[in-house]
Every structure is written in structure tokens, then in C-alpha cells.
């Protein structure tokens, strides 16, 4: 069941979409790095946060490439070196996106509240799924397999609720960067290209999780029905 080639066929659309999205990100990232912005990524994020009244949200430099994120527990934006230091459309676009998450947090944006509550399901759901699959197979227990399926459903739920969170943060970033004059017309186009490409990676991840869930549901529930017959 776990190594069925059919699973690769079922999830192939999501894998292909992810590869295309990653190619688009690399291309858009590189192009956006060639277009100037009025501020560095860190300065743009600071400006957006201050305009939103979030003076207590910090901004730190972090290691890695495309490692940018907002930490709601520490209330801090962590930006990679290029995003933190460069005055480019790519830098301010990514920084503004993360600032958008901080604004969501500060305003109690409901999908973000739900997503944050679902983080444990996303972290532990796949592990619990594999454990239940192994135990269910060893013990010939359809009930354990179904419990495992429900655990994997937690990851799918997280991915689904994550989509509006990410797209809303990107929409905020596009709007505010233009409204505050941080990018010009060419910069706005480059920002849209970077953030839209990033958005498709979330779509691809969600699609892969959903297709995987449907595949195992078909296998487990179908097998359970056959056993009952």
C-alpha cells in the first residue's frame, strides 16, 4: 500500500505544479533582484509595521535562502540576508508579505488564528498517520488505519486553511508597497510576479496532501468494505 506506483500517478499533477512553481520563483526572484526599490526589505517591513501600529514587532536577520518568516510566538519578522539588506523589488515584496502576516496576527485575522491552532495537527499528523498505518497493518486492524487516515486529514486541513492566510498576506503586501510608494510601476509588477509564484507552491503542497489523502482513503475504506463483504 505504501509504495504503490499508483500513488505517484495520483500525486503527479501536484508534483509537476510544484516543479513549475519553484522554477517560476527562481526566475521571478532573480528578475526582481534587478529592479530597484526605495527601501531595503528590512526598512520596508519596518515602515509597514509602524504604519499599522505594530511598533513592538521586531525584525531580525536570519540564515538561509528564502528562509523568511514571521514568528507569532516571539512577534518578530526574520528575514534572509538578501531580503534584509537589499533595496530591490524582490526584497521588499517578501518582507512586506511577512509583515502582512504580522498585521494578520495583530488584527486577529480568523484564518490565521485557525491555522496557528492547527499547527500541531500539521506537525504530528503525518507521524501519527505512519504509526497507525504500521500498527494497523501488523494487527490487521481497519480501525487503526482509519485513525491514521484521520491524522493525515489534520495536515490537509492545515494546508487548506493556510491558503487564504498566504494569499491575504501577499495581497496586503502588493497593496501597501504601492500605496506607500516603496515600489514604482515596474517594481509592483516584479512584486506580483514573486508573490504569485510563491503562492502556487502553497497550492501545489495543498493539492499533493489532498490527493494523498484521497488515495489512502480509497485504499483503506475500499479494503475495509471488501473485508466486510
Q: Which residues are catalytic?
A: 98
Alpha-carbon 132 to chain mean position: 26
CA-based end-to-end distance of the chain:
20
Distance separating alpha carbons of residues 82 and 80, to the nearest angstrom: 6
DSSP state, residue 39: S
Q: Can you list the alpha helix ranges (DSSP code H) found in the chain?
A: 5-32, 41-51, 81-85, 89-107, 110-117, 119-138, 142-179, 185-228
Amino acid at each position: 500500500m505504501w509504495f504503490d506506483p499508483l500513488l505517484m500517478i495520483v500525486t503527479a499533477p501536484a508534483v509537476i505544479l510544484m516543479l513549475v512553481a519553484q522554477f517560476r520563483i527562481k526566475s521571478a526572484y532573480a528578475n526582481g533582484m534587478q529592479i530597484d526599490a526605495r527601501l531595503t526589505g528590512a526598512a520596508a517591513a519596518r515602515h509597514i509595521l509602524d504604519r499599522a501600529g505594530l511598533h513592538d514587532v521586531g525584525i531580525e536577520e536570519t540564515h538561509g535562502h528564502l528562509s523568511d518568516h514571521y514568528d507569532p510566538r516571539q512577534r518578530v519578522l526574520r528575514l534572509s540576508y538578501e531580503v534584509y539588506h537589499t533595496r530591490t523589488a524582490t526584497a521588499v515584496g517578501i518582507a512586506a508579505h511577512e509583515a502582512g502576516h504580522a498585521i494578520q496576527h495583530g488584527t486577529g485575522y480568523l484564518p490565521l488564528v485557525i491555522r496557528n491552532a492547527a499547527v500541531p495537527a500539521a506537525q504530528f499528523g503525518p507521524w501519527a498517520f505512519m504509526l497507525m498505518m504500521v500498527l494497523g497493518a501488523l494487527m490487521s486492524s481497519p480501525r487503526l488505519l482509519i485513525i491514521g487516515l484521520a491524522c493525515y486529514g489534520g495536515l490537509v486541513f492545515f494546508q487548506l486553511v493556510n491558503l487564504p492566510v498566504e494569499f491575504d498576506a501577499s495581497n496586503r503586501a502588493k497593496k501597501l508597497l504601492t500605496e506607500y510608494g516603496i515600489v514604482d510601476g515596474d517594481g509592483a509588477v516584479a512584486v506580483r510576479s514573486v508573490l504569485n509564484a510563491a503562492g502556487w507552491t502553497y497550492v501545489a503542497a495543498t493539492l499533493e496532501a489532498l490527493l494523498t489523502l484521497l488515495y489512502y482513503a480509497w485504499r483503506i475504506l475500499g479494503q475495509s468494505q471488501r473485508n466486510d463483504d
